[in-house]
Chain A
């Protein structure tokens, strides 16, 4: 299937620092979603983006739908220990004929040191 390049693969930060991660593709996406997964659990939807250039916040989280529709980023401000987990981006391809399926990035593993 289509690839989403998510970076970085892992991050080790101190509590209180800001975090930024992104996803890029050579293809155009109509929708971008960001999820967080705790160990041994299912991913939880954090933010959904539907329009190019859209900037959406959810508490300390901010995500943007890139203007080219080929990328998205997620920022976490003032990180806290419970931010630890794996963050996934997911997108719905433009012109996608297979209905509602999503393409997922490989995830960013975030570790926050108290």
Chain B
């Protein structure tokens, strides 16, 4: 089955620690995205990548980092510099180019205490 997987579903970390969230897709999509969602709010773009080895900052990139070494994978690191990291993180992918339909993974809920 083709799809997007995010792991783990729930993640707990202590303040001051970096944490990496996984996102993998087997849809042969070129573009991948990371969003943050806070309770009762919409989706805010953190980073996106349109091709392997390239990525761009979204609207709220501060305190986050990404890499895109493989087409299938787009991990997100939440660094200790992120002031309010507790949130629901969503990964998405699309064919890119002229195709704008993004397909989402199930999300990872990160809690930092």
Interface residue ranges, A against B (CB under 8 Å)? 1, 6, 30-31, 33, 35, 40-45, 48, 88, 90, 92, 98-102, 104-107, 109
Q: Which of A1, A100, A105, A106 makes the CB contact (< 8 A) with B59?
A: A1
Task: Report how far A98 CA is from B94 CA in the complex, Å.
Answer: 14
Pair B42/A104 contact, Cβ less than 8 Å: yes
What does DSSP make chain B's interface, helix, strand, loop or mixed?
strand
Q: How large is the interface on B (under 10, 10 to 19, 20 to 34, 35 or more residues)?
A: 20 to 34
Name B54-69 residues within 8 Å CB distance of A. 56, 58-59
Give complex CA distance A54, B107 in Å.
31
Min CB distance A67 to B, Å, is 20
B72-113: CB near A (< 8 Å → 1, else 0) gives 000000000000000010101010110111111111010000
Ranked nearest first, the 6 interchain pairs of A and B with the lowest CB-CB distance are A42-B104, A106-B42, A92-B100, A104-B43, A31-B100, A1-B59
Q: Is the CB of A45 within 8 A of B103?
A: yes
